[in-house]
Structure 1
């Protein structure tokens, strides 16, 4: 691992934290700014606004969300950047952020209005990179005084993420977390392949269930109740799909009303049709 001077060791950690706080604060105050940079499937896939894969990691929903993530960020970034050097550290953070966004984009590619924000995917990448790079690392949890082995924390994290993706429960981006964590660990291994030989047990414990889960998503998504263009429809419908179905039906009503106006004029509309048009 590279060694850098104290003056430059935390360069990118400070820059990333500054940008995240700045973007988040702007987003708190300016709804237009927030909407411009958040992760939203249609804006990325349809409008080709790929910058959102990165900029969404700079936005947060509120002060608690921001402070919690920045605390976790600095807890791991300091050791990583000091030991690895700014170049390798930045690559881990960047690929973790993009990897988490891409995995979320794949999972939700049929849910056009799905949106997400937060640096959690990148931070999960830093955590998993730390587990891979530093044998014997222990991780403490907020409000819990005891610490647990890093590999055990990461294994529990993988299990919770898999369950969260499968059940589509809560308002947590489990997909981005898992994608970012996997990307962070793989990048750390690619840049420091020697760690496989002295830390292979934790690495295998974490990669094995994650890779098996990814295989099921790609090969048999219907088993996990994840609807993709490659799977048949079934009775299960996620919250995102219910929303999109309602939106689709409402758009059909609006199109019908506009056609009616074009053919017969505005006065031909019923009171209910006028209400729908006003809502639109």
Structure 2
């Protein structure tokens, strides 16, 4: 046999590619196995936390009861230190919610308080020398839906006095109109006074109504704001005004005058804290409701 006639055989390139594909597949399989194994390990390494178990959620300032919460397992990687653990259940029962809690949401420490949040907390911040005045208010005649807690207003009072030959005044803001032996006189009652709160037809605080809405989740807030009950609840029938002793004394001198009327105007909101500014869609909803009411 002539060995010189035998051709040398070179490695097959396709074989090299197949070998690399097999090796790559093995790496993918090993990597996937490692990931799945760790995932299974993490899934088994869980922590028991507390979450809301109440259809419709839990409203703000409500007392938390045992039937409104349940234990829920989360993987350890998802746990944060501010979450309430299942072992904390005895400590959280009978505490107060600080704001609205959605059904199914995990409970956090800052969502609960041992003390009931104060209503009308601005009353506790009122200076010792300041006083509150309740003033009847017709929202259709004075600012409509524009006026909200936090606004500053100016109030003028018009009343009648008997005409006398020597009648005169040094008040530059006073205006006169003679009629049948009497004079119609207008004075500035309050040059600038803050609307701290407003009362609706049920004598409930409109400030608190706004606060409750602000604590709701966004979707729930939109639903509530479009309801007729809510829009009625923010229609003021009286104003709560913060004034000094002198301002309140001035009002007392005018309150019992015969044939008197009050004119309310709204001042600039610059440097004022208006709660409605936190609800950008509120004014549109209120205006829409008022248009429907006026068309009836």
Give the structure-2-normalised TM-score: 0.22
Q: In proportion to residue count, which structure has more strand?
A: 2
> Larger radius of gyration, structure 1 or 2?
2
Give the structure-1-normalised TM-score: 0.23
Q: In proportion to residue count, which structure has more helix?
A: 1
